[in-house]
Chain A
């Protein structure tokens, strides 16, 4: 599948933003949230900027962005529509949580309830995003249960890394946040490796034979394509990264998204003052960069069944 920059940026940024909202919401509802109004303004402000920038980026790939508002109408059947509804609805509890924390200086009571709703809305939005891909039967790499688990885990991981960076900047409980991030990295890394193993072992159930129905005669291979230059189908769905590059990019993504942030989080536990701050900020940046590469691969490695009509043997 063609890795559109707007969608990669959107899912990475909004994932990190919702991950941050999720952890802040859980912490507030559980009564563990420390930090003054400045921390609240910075943390929820950053989350809102990331989520909003992501949503705006997602409209860049539309053919008719001015009609984007129509996309909230079909929530009964469409995960894309549900994602739109969930993301817009989640602004309300985030706004009330921010008002309670930043303006009124309270993260308990009504604020805490709104924080919990914000966390639920953030998780629901990420689940909807993942199910847009999960529901696409023609793409075996996406149509499996690893996809929602990975989207949730990577959002939680980047959110926890950003939370640790903010906690280090505002000198509040960075140790607790770092432990949270370590746990999130381990879970996300495990799920990502599981996903890669799964897509390597389950390359899809459709073949050139089932796509044409000609398998009873023998093996089917393309003799002549319908057109001489690339069409929309090949540009949009024929994109596939070379296997050797995919291997290398997986290693780079794993190093940036998991290995380096894990080491940096361990050093956050050991360090103090500005070295701790540098380690925490570096982990957030590297982790987000790693997820960007992971998301690029998520598209580039996915193979659509339409390629079976253009020479692919299995998808």
Chain B
């Protein structure tokens, strides 16, 4: 059923991604690929992996952007994956019922057994979260590691998405964004977490935390010449100036 759940539950599982701490190492993308190649959405097909034009399915991509100009400019690493939107048009456009949004936790999934590979869902996603598997003829997407987060055979500490488990700087946080008291919701409130492309009305569940303001006093426009008044360097300065 590709209509959205009539009575969505209060629980909205998702990610909070901290653009201040992300170092752009791509470990999240790599662990995502590793876990999901063997998980319920696997295989994540790679075509010509050792050729000049490799092309494969990834659920997580890390872009790097230059933002701002001159001394105020900075590099921001930007991981991009499914945002598990509250208004996912990728689900409602699906003609077969393969795409669906779970009422109990808001996760958006693809039932690959029903997918005809028409690709319309990937057109409907503004964020490029869905990637077509040309080998299997079906659409694939982030599952929020549904086979980890509810997996009782894993240690409770590991019941988080692979990208979250692996991030070396803890830039990725997983939790219930429908609960205002959850750690992730509090983080969003404290740090001014925001939605991507809110103007399109998809109401993404995942939030991004902005880079913190940089301390401007740390960088002077030009470094002054060293002119120590006393001590050895002062003596050296007087000697060389003489």
Contacts and interface: CB of A to CB of B under 8 A. Distances in A.
Contact of A206 (B56, B61, B94, B199): B199
A132 B216 CA distance: 50
Interface in A35-88: 61-65, 67-68, 70-74, 76-81, 84
Contacts of A137: 89, 124, 126, 200-202
A71 B117 contact: no
B128 interface: yes
A55 to B, nearest CB: 13
B21 interface: no
Nearest to A83: B95
B43 to A, nearest CB: 15
A141 to B, nearest CB: 12
Given A212-B76, A218-B69, A64 B61 contact: no
A184 B123 CA distance: 31
A71 B72 contact: no
B132 interface: yes
Contacts of A286: none
Contacts of A213: 194-196, 208, 210
B67 A218 contact: yes
Contact of A214 (B4, B76, B96): B76
Contacts of A230: 53, 55
A63 B136 contact: yes
Contacts of A73: 95-97
Contact of B58 (A67, A206, A231, A306): A231
B67 A214 contact: yes
B68 A80 contact: no
B86 to A, nearest CB: 14
Most chain A beta carbons < 10 A, residue from B89, B125, B201: B125
Interface size class of B (residues with CB under 8 A): 35 or more
A227 interface: yes
B68 A229 contact: no
A236 B53 contact: no
A73 B95 CA distance: 7
A72 B138 CA distance: 18
B128 A306 contact: yes
A135 B89 contact: yes
A235 B73 CA distance: 31
B97 A70 contact: yes
Interface string B199-242: 11110000010110000000000000000000000000000000
Contacts of A80: 93, 95, 118, 120
A219 interface: yes
B143 interface: no
A70 B116 contact: yes
Interface of A: 1, 61-65, 67-68, 70-74, 76-81, 84, 132, 135-139, 205-206, 208, 210-214, 216-227, 229-233, 235-237, 304-306, 309-310
15 contacts: A64-B115, A67-B116, A76-B3, A77-B91, A78-B95, A80-B95, A81-B96, A210-B198, A212-B67, A212-B78, A212-B208, A230-B55, A237-B123, A306-B125, A309-B80
